[in-house]
Structure 1
Amino acid sequence: MTDKPDFAKGNGLLPVIVQDAASRRVLMLAYMNEEAWAKTVETGLAHYWSRSRKKIWLKGETSGHVQRVRDMYVDCDADTLLIVVEQAGGAACHEGYASCFFRRLQDGAFVVTEQRVFDPKEVYKA
């Protein structure tokens, strides 16, 4: 039995599958390091490691669309996480969609198959 994921396996970063508690739909894939894991466990709000910004971020810190953690699972190798969340604001994607997986392969090209929940230009004013 383990009390935390094995962060050594992923050179300090582990993939996190994020699933909506109500619909069970996959909302996004993110990464956590040990500090993001600890903040998530401590606060009950999802924190991730931003590979592009090279820092920890609270999901929804800008948009207000935070993820309240309902359940957390670790896989058999303790190197991948599944987090079941209550998604505030109805959208996990920074492009304004409910899920980051809003494009579907059709006839050899990816096409948008959903409507935006919010306008990212309005939410992420610089």
Structure 2
Amino acid sequence: MTSTPRTPSDLDPAIAARLKRSADGLVPAIAQQHDTGEVLMLGWMDDEALHRTLTTGRATYWSRSRQEYWVKGDTSGHVQHVKGVALDCDADTILVKVDQVGAACHTGTRTCFDTDVLLAAE
């Protein structure tokens, strides 16, 4: 399923053509610590957020609640320096490998996935 991006974007048309977006034009983006593989958070990107991420080296997301772009760390100081970006095999999820400075979660924890563990790994 694809949708028109919310704003014009300079994203490479070859990349844009591959993306499978939700009905609201977004693709889930998983942030992962580049050197340890730790999964940090899930955000949402449209074409422009992905373009900004690829060209600035800073993870940029679309806020569904505020309806605006946000660069991770601009207000908190908990910056995500982008080390690599990949699409999954279906081109419907983005993996952003980052060097996380400080907490990734808005609650102040390192990762968004450490509070409510449903099944612990052995």
Conserved? CA contact 1:7–1:13, under 8 Å: no
- Out of 9, 23, 41, which is 2:36 matched to? 23
TM-score (norm 1): 0.75
For structure 2, the residue ranges without an aligned partner over 5 or more in a row are 1-12
Q: Give the whole-Å Cα distance in 1 for the aligned partners of 2:19 and 2:69.
A: 15
Q: Give the whole-Å Cα distance in 2 for the aligned partners of 1:18 and 1:73.
A: 11
Q: Which residue in 2 is equivalent to 1:4?
A: 15
Q: Which residue in 1 is equivalent to 2:26?
A: 13
* Structure 2 residue 102 is the aligned partner of structure 1 residue 99: no
State the one-letter code of the partner of 1:99: T
State the one-letter code of the partner of 1:20: Q
Q: Which residue in 1 is equivalent to 2:6?
A: none
Q: Give the whole-Å Cα distance in 1 for the aligned partners of 2:118 and 2:88.
A: 28
Q: Give the whole-Å Cα distance in 1 for the aligned partners of 2:28 and 2:79.
A: 19
Per the TM alignment, residue 17 of structure 1 is displaced from its structure 2 partner at its CA by 1.0
For structure 1, the residue ranges without an aligned partner over 5 or more in a row are 107-126
TM-score (norm 2): 0.78
Q: Deviations over 1:40-68 (max 9, x none)?
A: 11101000000111110001111111101
Q: Give the whole-Å Cα distance in 1 for the aligned partners of 2:88 and 2:113.
A: 22
- The CA RMSD measured in Å over matched residues stands at 1.7
CA shift in 2, pair 1:68/1:15, >3 Å: same
1:1-126 aligned at under 5 Å gives the runs: 3-5=14-16, 6-7=18-19, 9-11=21-23, 12-89=25-102, 91-103=103-115, 104-105=117-118
Which ranges of 4 or more aligned residues in structure 1 deviate by more than 4 Å? none
Between Structure 1 and Structure 2, the one with more strand by share is: 1
Q: Give the whole-Å Cα distance in 2 for the aligned partners of 1:75 and 1:99.
A: 21
Q: How many residues align?
A: 104
Per the TM alignment, residue 77 of structure 1 is displaced from its structure 2 partner at its CA by 1.8
